Structure 1
């Protein structure tokens, strides 16, 4: 299953990761609150910093509609 991961970061920014596997989201969710939240995307390890909380939206986000 693929969807959009929504990450709220310590510096009050929000990161949306579209078309991501649920397993990647679960790995990010497991690391919530850690100083370095890492996951592998497109064969690269990405460090998102401190993430808390993280949410999942199944499928794609309809940006034209507003959510």
Structure 2
């Protein structure tokens, strides 16, 4: 299943990752609250830093409409 992950950072910024597998989201969610959140995405290891909380939205977000 593919969807969109929404990661909230401690500096009040957002990171939005579209078209990812739910398994990648689960990996990020397990690291929620840690100082360094790393996962393999798009055939490379990505460090998102500290994220908390994270949310999942099935499918893609229609940015023109808002969801």
TM-score (norm 1): 0.97
Q: Which residue of 1 aligns with 2:29?
A: 29
Secondary structure in 1 matching 2:49: coil
Secondary structure of the structure 2 residue equivalent to 1:66: coil
How many residue pairs get matched? Answer: 67
1:65 aligns to 2:41 (yes or no)? no
Following the alignment from structure 1 to structure 2, what is the Cα–Cα distance between the partners of residues 38 and 29? Answer: 11
- 1:37, distance to aligned residue in structure 2 (A): 0.2
Partner of 2:19: 19
Cα-Cα RMSD: 0.6
Structure 1: state its 5+ residue gaps.
Answer: none
Following TM superposition, where does structure 1 have runs of at least 4 consecutive aligned residues deviating by more than 6 angstroms?
Answer: none
Unpaired segments of 5 or more residues in structure 2?
A: none
Deviations 1:15-66 (A, max 9, x none): 1100000000000000000000001111111100000000000000011102
